[in-house]
Amino acid sequence: MKFKRNFNLYIGVFLVTILLFLMIVSLFYTPYDINEMVIKERFQGPSIKHLMGTDNFGRDVLSRIIKGAQTAFLVGTVSVGVSFLFGTVIGAIAGYIGGWVDEIIMRFIDALMAFPSILLALVFIAVFGASTQNTIIAIGIRGIPTFARIARSGFMQYKEFEFVKAAKSIGAGHLRIMFIHILPNVLSPLIIAASMGFANAVLAEAGLSYLGLGVQPPEPSWGRMLKEAQNYIVKAPWYTLAPGIMITMSVLGFNLLGDGIRDMRDPRE
């Protein structure tokens, strides 16, 4: 019954499935070459030939939107993976060991959280240059504190449980206790955070690309497409709507997916 009324999960899965389908399709097929410029076909409205119209260079908007899904998933998946891996390990060490180790690690995490996330990403990219790889690293770094805090809280709680004390009594090593006995019990909130973190990563990549500091040409990015389209919002509104809708779908889909998983796992339900 709980699963049947979990509409957030349904809608989230539906939207994410559409995006995942576009990403898979982009690996093998796009209606046109994403960088093919046909000047005489500039600003053509949606038609059978170009379902989402063309842009200011005569490029097919649908092809670039589909390819942009690949960019969004690449940045989202790898950056969240970086945040998840490093954040979980750091939080696990702080929560399990405690004491002065916990104090030092958490003060570092607090210092990292003191910087606004977008400012931290901007500083990193300003220092190391704008590229897809640096965008992924910048977004990944800014997500580490979230996972570290969740992991620390879980490890601090579970290290006092009887099953952990029993594992210690039979001679289990600390690494085995941390990652075989405790970590599986902490994974649920971490997975929920990863789903919502993916939405934030897509939004951050779009924002950085909009500012010209994210994914660089000729690779398509929904954020940069939105930047290019704003000058033609009256002349070619379809050019603005297409990337805007995709960014909205991505953020909404992964946030609803995270909410749905959280509701499903909530013992109060």
> In terms of pLDDT, which residue wins out, 264 or 201?
201
Q: Quick check: 181 and 150 in contact, CB under 8 A? A: no
CATH number of 7-21+52-265: 1.10.3720.10
Helix (H, G, I), strand (E, B) or coil at 60: strand
Q: Which of 2-11, 215-224, 251-260 has the highest mean pLDDT?
A: 251-260
60 DSSP β-pair partners = 54
What's the pLDDT score for residue 259? Answer: 86
**For 55-80, how does the pLDDT look when each residue is reduced to its tens digit (9 = 90+)?**
888 899 999 999 989 989 999 999 99
What confidence tier does 268 reach under pLDDT thresholds 50, 70, 90? low
**For 157-202, how does the pLDDT look when each residue is reduced to its tens digit (9 = 90+)?**
888 888 888 888 887 787 888 888 888 888 888 988 998 899 989 9
The whole-chain average pLDDT of the chain stands at: 86
Closest CA to 210 of 196, 197, 225: 225
- Residue 48 burial (10 A CB sphere; 0-12, 13-18, 19+): exposed
What are the extents of the domains in the chain?
A: 7-21+52-265
**For 110-157, how does the pLDDT look when each residue is reduced to its tens digit (9 = 90+)?**
888 887 777 778 888 888 888 888 888 889 988 999 999 999 998 988
b or e along 169-180 (b: 16 or more beta carbons within 10 Å of the residue's beta carbon)? eeeeeeeebbee
Cα distance between residue 111 and residue 134, in whole Å = 21
Q: Quick check: 102 and 149 in contact, CB under 8 A? A: no
What's the pLDDT score for residue 1? Answer: 44
What's the pLDDT score for residue 267? Answer: 52
Sort residue 44 into left (φ over 0), alpha (ψ -120 to 50) or beta.
Answer: beta
**For 220-259, how does the pLDDT look when each residue is reduced to its tens digit (9 = 90+)?**
889 888 888 888 888 888 888 989 999 999 999 999 988 8
What's the pLDDT score for residue 128? Answer: 85
What's the pLDDT score for residue 179? Answer: 84
Give the Cβ contact number of residue 151 at 10 Å.
Answer: 28
What's the pLDDT score for residue 160? Answer: 81
Cα distance between residue 78 and residue 263, in whole Å = 26
Cα distance between residue 92 and residue 84, in whole Å = 12
